[in-house]
Structure 1
Amino acid sequence: MRWLGFAVLALCGALAVWLWGYGGMEDLSRWAASGQRDVQNQMAGALRGIKAGQGAAFWTLMGLCFAYGFFHAAGPGHGKVLIGGYGLGRDVARVKLAGLAVASSLAQALTAVVVVYAGVGLFQLGRAQLEGVAEKTMAPVSYGAIALVGVWLGLRGVRRWWASRPVDHHEHHEGCGCGHAHGPDPEAAAKVGNWREAAILIASIAIRPCTGAIFVLLLCWKLGIDLAGIAGAFVMGLGTASVTLLVAFAAHGLRTSALMQVAGGTGALRLQAVIEIAAGAIVCIAASQLLMRAL
């Protein structure tokens, strides 16, 4: 199966060259922004239909919200960078990666709902002020948190590399023989770590709400169709999750393909360490660039 690993690595390499070497990222960004504008323009008609009592208009709005979330995630963003980097750097099952992608996107939608209704209900903020809070305050905090997660991934990789160094096999440690556990076993520690990691990842992404969700929520609030806006925000989150899932699975496949090239043992451990360091660097650099643009 090594040929499959080589094929995946070659495909990812070609994609990276196109994205960053031949202007692919700019083309993708323009396409995503154009898609968002088109969808946002069509939302007005669906909202008027819901206000007028047209049943089909609700489902039209839900479809448009999903499409907006998809286009939003297809452009440069922090969620897919973090989940993709985590999937590349850590040995995580695809099911768990999928859960993280969906949970983080829905958590973003929840943040948008809280921000909008707290803003208009408690502080009487308008659209421009709410979007300013999201973009000028919450976004930099989110990017900074994600950059720290990248640093953490990189440090884990360094520790893994250090642990894989040759050791004196004559050294050994004996238990105390008392029959009591003096700390969590590796399985229990891993479970605690996974829950903590998941919470940190989701929170880092969810800090910044989607401005598209804020737009829909505010319009629906003004029209008196609040439930449609709340539903649309969460469907928009599912649209975002669809792209994040693709990135996460691609990262998982890249990691698996790279590890297929080694037979195992110390070589595999060192390669895992290198991958984790590289993933941490990618996440940290990407988040830092987003942070600099936001400041």
Structure 2
Amino acid sequence: MSKYLIVPVAIAIAVLLWFWGSGGFDSLAAWAAGEQREFQNQIARALRAARAEQPAAIATLLMVCFAYGFFHAIGPGHGKVLIGGYGLGRNVAFLRLSAISVLSSLGQAVTAIVLVYAGVLIFQMSRESLVGATEQVMAPISYGAIAAIGLWLVLRSIRSFARRSHSATTPQHSHHDHGTCSSCGHRHGPTAQEVAQVGSLRESVLLIAGIAARPCTGALFVLILTWQMGIAMAGIAGAFAMALGTATVTTLVGWTSFGLRGGLIASASATRFASVLAPTIELVAGLIIAVIAFGLLMRAI
């Protein structure tokens, strides 16, 4: 039955390519930017209400911050390419990929809090200096880590191709390989145990750190304002609410990549291309991540 998945997977890929080629993602980012500006105004009003201790002001602030984080994450950045590419390139467990998405977004909030309060309390930095430090120091670190992950995926895929090539040229003396095809005597794909391999904890930590290294500028804005207004805890809560809004988008991207990879692997499981499809997907995903990250890194420095 898996061969019937080829059609919906092909349609999904075609729709994504058409949406990309027609400038749909640019229009989506422009729309999200407009919504983001409106939410910035609402955040400012909610902060003034919170300072005046108006009823339900904090709840309103948290809801607006969550919405800001959601719409802000639709635009460029926030690790969507990394989460999506990693979920597509590696056979990561569903719950692990979801946890990476959420923890990386929460990590951005933690980075923003540490940066702001270290900056204003220890180094007496202004808002402009903090944003400048984010763009000039934290952003290159984040892009460099993301590029390293992309290169790691590329290296893994090349090693996988090399192992398969070696296996294909090495005589097989075992007569108990239950993964062979009954009609031709050759393996068409990896075993269930081989496919079940998931990303390591080290990869997960590097992913989270790479995304979390660059905090959201919206969180910096809220944290600095609330510190100046004397309602610091409201700002910290707002930063985490933004992170949860961002996590909603990155998690959806991760789920989409997880489903797309599963569909592609299942579609080809009964064909002779199954053994090379997984490393090919990993190679393409790694190249996309590395190229985009290196491009952003060159712009940042």
TM-score with structure 1 setting the length = 0.89
CA distance in 2, matches of 1:264, 1:133: 52
User: Following superposition, which runs of at least 4 residues in structure 1 exceed 4 angstroms of deviation?
Assistant: none
Aligned length: 278
Tell me if the contact between 1:5 and 1:256 (Cα under 8 Å) persists in the aligned partners. no
Matched, 1:33 2:33: yes
Q: Distance in 2 between matches of 1:2 and 1:54?
A: 60
Please, which runs of 5 or more residues in structure 1 have no aligned partner? 173-185
Other-structure match for 1:72: 72
Note if 1:273 corresponds to 2:279.
yes
Q: Tell whether 2:141 aligns with 1:141.
A: yes
Query: What is the rounded CA distance, in whole Å, between the counterparts of 1:5 and 1:65 in structure 2?
Result: 40
Q: SS of 1:140's equivalent?
A: helix
User: Corresponding residue for 2:186?
Assistant: none
**What CA distance in whole angstroms lies between the structure 2 residues aligned with 1:75 and 1:251?**
18
**1:234-253 to 2 correspondence within 5 Å?**
234-253=240-259
Q: Which runs of 5+ in 2 are unaligned?
A: 175-192
Could you say which residue in structure 2 is the equivalent of 1:97?
97
RMSD: 1.9
Distance 1:241 1:231 in 2: 15
- Shift, 1:72, TM fit: 1.3
Q: Within 2, Cα distance between the matches of 1:147 and 1:62?
A: 33
TM-score normalized with structure 2 length: 0.87
Q: Who is 2:13 aligned against?
A: 12
Question: Per-residue displacement from partner, 1:99-121 (whole Å, max 9, x unpaired)?
Answer: 00000000010000000000000
**Quick one: which of 258, 264, 267 aligns to 1:261?**
267
Q: CA deviation at 1:169?
A: 3.2
The farther-off stretch of 262-271 and 195-204 is 262-271
Residue of structure 2 equivalent to 1:155: 155
**1:167 corresponds to which residue?**
169
CA drift at 1:260: 1.6
How far is 1:55 from its partner?
Answer: 3.1
Partner SS, residue 218 of structure 2? helix
Residue aligning to 2:88:
88
Q: Give the letter for the 1:39 counterpart.
A: F
- CA distance in 2 between partners of 1:260 and 1:55 (Å): 54
SS for the counterpart of 1:55 is coil
Q: CA deviation at 1:290?
A: 1.9
Provide the rounded CA distance (Å) in 2 between the counterparts of 1:206 and 1:154: 23
Q: Note if contact 2:4-2:267 (Cα within 8 Å) is conserved in structure 1.
A: no
Does the Cα contact within 8 Å between 1:88 and 1:252 map onto a contact in 2? Answer: yes
Q: Give the direction of change, closer, same or farther, for the CA distance of 1:162–1:254 in structure 2 (3 Å limit).
A: same
Asked whether the 8 Å contact 2:36–2:72 carries over to 1, the reply is yes
Aligned residues of 2:3 and 2:270 also touching (Cα < 8 A): no
